[in-house]
Amino acid sequence: MSEVGDRLGIPRTAAHRLLTDLKETGYVKQDANTSQYRLTVKLASLGLSYLAATGITDAAQPLLDDLAEFSGELVRLAVAEGDDLIWVAKAQGARTGLRLDPDAGLEIYLPATANGIAYLASFDDERALALISRQGMERAREMGPGAPQSLRALLEQIELARERGYAVVFDAYEAGTSAVGAVVRLDDDSEPLGTISIAGPSIRMTAERMDALAPKVIECAKAMAIASRSSPLFARG
């Protein structure tokens, strides 16, 4: 309780009232032995219900499933929400052997992901630098060996993504995984709606294979932009 109060900058009595209300409504539970609080699945269900109501899963899932079946790897969709890029849907194409299947629902760290670099490449340098500054470069030093270790290196990756029309990362988010991603947007002048990527073990996701998969990712992103008109979540863009 004291940590919640300190991090929110509110009195501990207020933190206690809020936590009590959340516990009574089922969004938080308290460990009887340690008195520590934790979230319940009821909070996650709010997010799932919200996504279902937007229609995004109906619009996106068939496209993600097709790309996953074609590539045999993990395909993921992220949606722009304010200054954030959030994982919202996925399809797993790998049936046997090594599989990459990280948790969804998280904010994407832009400097070290194919989705993030494709997203940054869709903006001019001023906007891209503002987004990078917001998240900082510090986390990149704790990630995979392929994560950019300087702003110069990141800007070079962003410029390469602009030239190619897609982004690739090797062992960046974590060692042993690589990905190719493209931005979802209605046209070159519109704000990006989100991103689509194919990710998998680096032993399979070689540079040659990702370059071969890139046209399919771009094709899926274009189809997703068309399908997005049926979802209020995308329509806000």
- If asked whether residues 143 and 83 sit together in one domain, one would say yes
- If asked whether residues 20 and 82 sit together in one domain, one would say no
Which has more pLDDT, 101 or 120?
120
- If asked whether residues 220 and 132 sit together in one domain, one would say yes
pTM of the model: 0.74
CA distance 18 to 112: 36
Instruction: Name the residue among 6, 1, 3 with its Cα closest to residue 23.
Output: 1
Q: Is the pLDDT of residue 237 over 50?
A: no
CA distance 66 to 68: 5
Instruction: Name the residue among 169, 62, 70, 60 with its Cα closest to residue 111.
Output: 169
Lowest mean pLDDT segment, chosen from 46-50, 69-73, 160-164, 199-203: 46-50
CATH number at residue 76: 3.30.450.40
- Establish if 48 belongs to a structural domain: no
pLDDT tens-digit readout, 25-55? 888 888 888 888 888 877 765 665 655 555 5
- If asked whether residues 95 and 186 sit together in one domain, one would say yes
Rg (CA), the chain: 19
CA distance 183 to 80: 10
Predicted local distance difference test score (pLDDT) of residue 190: 83
- Domain with 155 in it: 54-235
pLDDT tens-digit readout, 144-192? 999 999 999 999 999 999 999 999 999 998 899 999 999 998 888 888 8
- If asked whether residues 122 and 206 sit together in one domain, one would say yes
Q: How many structural domains are present in the chain? A: 2
- Establish if 203 belongs to a structural domain: yes
Predicted local distance difference test score (pLDDT) of residue 234: 55
